[in-house]
Amino acid sequence: MQPIELNKRIDTLDYLRGFALLGIILVNIPALLWIKTPDTSIDIAYNRFLILFVEGKFFSIFSFLFGVGFYIFISRAMAKNNNAYLLFIRRIIILLLIGLVHFYFQPGEALTVYAIFGLIALPFYKVRKEINITLGLILLAITAYYGIKIAMPFPLILLGLAAGQYRIFEKIHDNRKSILTFTVIMFMISIGGLLYQWHYVPEAMVNIDNMTTDEMTEHMTNIEKFSLIGLQFSPFVSAFYVGLLMLLLKLPLCQALLSPLKDYGQMALTNYLGQTALILLIGNTFDLIGNIRFIQSLWICISIYMFQLLFSKIWLKYFKFGPLEWLWRMGTYWTVPSLLKTSDFKERS
């Protein structure tokens, strides 16, 4: 295995992490604010939108990116002649501890899952990329088909590891045609899956008391299948999102318009945990827990987007790492890394 460049960030990965964060908060906020089952037309429409286009999709992207980051971290540590496996284990243990604390506030959090599956995936770093991608695809197909959402991150991490081994994100320019073909194929499969899923969309307004046994059975079956089919096709939709964003970022105008996502994704850990903190702070401060509707949660998410995007931009103008990323790095290397950007001052002097 050839090592990745030692210190160069792969900007596309930061954009993708930032993009994934935009979707994750939309799915997490209903449980955090105890939002009731949608019972108005606009709430029902918004809930359907989440299930069709968001639920399971952004979580899959984040899991895949964790696998890519896993490969990059170990490769760079080995290239620097560091004890890569020891550093990675330290890094994962810290992530697990952070996740356990986060779990107290957000039972649906993902960090503990990533930490556990990251340790399980560690031996696969030495496995051939062809085996990793094959095993990842097989396990993903099984877990997605049976709707085992809790187990889906492991094959996605393996696929991310394989993507790192294939150096996909370092050779985007050279592989634009292949990425375009892949994205079109994922788009076609996604459209087919969404149409199939829509066939089982549950009735919006139903009076359960007046339903016959057969009607009740059909209604409950539709509810279950609508969610299950969405999960089954979520890897294809996620892959389409990733491919599309990779292509858009090759266009200067799109890259400029999407530039806030880069800083947002570079501080992914800080912003992911910050989302939970801000949701709970807003919910408790304004007595919103259990007292708002689905569509109203969207406006809270937009407010948090605006705050975090601006905060990330300003913070990274003066500092090298996000605050939690800096602490994570300190715990990993057992050193105090430089936080303040000093290059400008050196140039002036």
pLDDT of residue 202: 84
Contacts of 140 (CB under 8 A, 6+ apart): 152, 155, 156, 159, 235
pLDDT of residue 120: 97
Residues 6+ positions from 323 with CB-CB distance below 8 Å: 270, 315
- Entry pTM: 0.93
16 burial type by CB count under 10 A (0-12 exposed, 13-18 middle, 19+ buried):
buried
Sign of torsion, CA 59 62 68 74? negative
Cβ–Cβ < 8 Å for 322, 266: yes
Dihedral sign for Cα 164, 167, 168, 173, please: positive
Task: Give the model confidence (pLDDT) of 102-158 as tens digits.
Answer: 999 999 999 999 999 999 999 999 999 999 999 999 999 999 999 999 999 999 999
3-state secondary structure 264-322: HHHCHHHHHHHHHHHHHHHHHHCCCCCCCCHHHHHHHHHHHHHHHHHHHHHHHHHECCC
Residue 5 has a pLDDT of 58
What is the three-class DSSP state of 4?
Answer: coil
Q: For the chain, which ranges sit under pLDDT 70?
A: 1-7, 204-209, 211, 215, 343-349
Indicate the burial class of 28 (C-beta count within 10 angstroms; 0-12, 13-18, 19 or more). Answer: buried
For 291-328, the pLDDT digits (tens) are 999 999 999 999 999 999 999 999 999 999 999 999 99
The predicted structure's pLDDT at residue 80: 87
Question: What does the pLDDT read at residue 6?
Answer: 57
Q: How far apart are CA 332 and CA 327, in angstroms?
A: 9
Output the six-digit token pair for 47. Answer: 């809930």
pLDDT of residue 72: 96
